[in-house]
Amino acid sequence: MADAVQTRPRAETVAAIHDAAARIRANVASVVVGADEPIDLMLAALLAGGHVLLEDVPGTGKTTLARAFARSIGASFHRIQFTPDLMPSDILGIHFYSQRSGEFEFRPGPILANVVLADEVNRATPRTQSALLEAMEERTVTIDGETRELEAPFLVLATQNPIELEGTFPLPEAQLDRFLLRLAVGYPDEAGEIEVLRRFEQRSPFDSLGPVIDGAELVALSASLPQVHVEDAVAQYIVRLCRATRDHAAFDLGASPRASLALFRAARALAAMDGRDYVRPDDVKRLAQPVLAHRLLLSSQSRLRGRTAADVLDEILHELAVPVVDA
């Protein structure tokens, strides 16, 4: 009886996360076609309190995906178009002298929103890119010595075009490590693209898209993720995977302890979204590429041989022993 009382809150919590995830997934999918995996991964990042780097060619729906997520959770949404002349104050906000009040007043920047789309983030200078670091890691911004907390939930969705590199400033490793995961939306299949034409034939689906959950409920569900159990063997699997990247000859830089923690949190979120109160090794394997690949720095010899971080990571996953966990 005591065990049943102890497990009931966990079961109810996981059921609530599973239900909320299904509602958000269906709501976003009503606008974005053929992006089931990116939607699931972005939802896992949102629940785990992480940020997402969307790396894909123009026209694949990156902005649409971000806007649909913001509307689905009833969140404020700001888009920042990154350009070489963008200044940190354009992101964070400024204090200005108001002639009406005779005092300095604060004009908030677009970073003060629940969902922030940093469009083409690699087109801004490193100084401006670094303005995102404190907000992404600490959930605060400091302006003129005054620190302001950002309202939860807070999600940065940064986009960059992997094809057009002229006039860009590649994100440094320190900033790439702040993103929980990197993903691509990709093109829909033929049937999906026809469905896109039909959905937008009369009017935009955004016109009728409303929230299916509020921010406070989402924050509460996110805070309850520690109830999802992670066996010692699975936690050890996560650590061994990350450590294997540090010891591999193909990498000059392997996954950091922050990467281990990101994989741990994302796996919990994915398990709860699936309606489970425990993490399986398959959750870790599914998340390995989007969570780890962008944090790995290939050696010059590996790059000359045409290898990619994803290829080497696949080899590590294939060679690493997978624990057998009895649920």
The answer on pLDDT for 3 being more than 50 is no
For residues 235-247, give the mean pLDDT. Answer: 96
Q: Which CATH superfamily is domain 228-319 in?
A: Magnesium chelatase subunit I, C-Terminal domain (1.10.8.80)
Percentage of the chain beyond pLDDT 70 is 95
When the pLDDT of each residue in the chain is averaged and rounded to a whole number, the result is: 88
Structure-token match 């590429």, residue found? 289
- CATH number, domain 2-223: 3.40.50.300
Would you call 154 exposed, middle or buried from its count of C-beta atoms within 10 A (0-12, 13-18, 19+)? buried
More confident residue, 235 or 60: 235
Cβ neighbour number for residue 314 with a 10 Å cutoff: 14
* CA separation, residue 241 to residues 45, 47, 58, 140, 315 (Å): 20, 23, 33, 32, 11
For 67-84, write each residue's pLDDT tens digit. 899 999 988 999 999 999
- Domains of the chain, residue spans: 2-223, 228-319
pLDDT bucket at 234, cuts 50 / 70 / 90: very high
Cβ neighbour number for residue 210 with a 10 Å cutoff: 8
Q: Answer yes or no: are the C-beta atoms of 172 and 124 closer than 8 Å.
A: no
For residues 234-250, give the mean pLDDT. Answer: 95
Tell me, what's the pLDDT at 4?
Answer: 37
Tell me, what's the pLDDT at 19?
Answer: 95
Tell me, what's the pLDDT at 6?
Answer: 40
Q: Answer yes or no: are the C-beta atoms of 59 and 96 closer than 8 Å.
A: no
The answer on pLDDT for 7 being more than 50 is no
The residues, any chain, with a CB within 8 Å of residue 184's CB and separated by 6 or more, are 38, 54, 55, 56, 60
The answer on pLDDT for 167 being more than 80 is no
For 204-215, write each residue's pLDDT tens digit. 777 788 899 988
The answer on pLDDT for 233 being more than 90 is yes
Tell me, what's the pLDDT at 325?
Answer: 62
For 100-156, write each residue's pLDDT tens digit. 877 888 888 899 999 999 999 989 888 888 888 888 888 888 887 788 888 889 999
pLDDT bucket at 326, cuts 50 / 70 / 90: low
For 278-307, write each residue's pLDDT tens digit. 999 999 999 999 999 999 999 999 888 889
More confident residue, 267 or 35: 267
pLDDT bucket at 5, cuts 50 / 70 / 90: very low
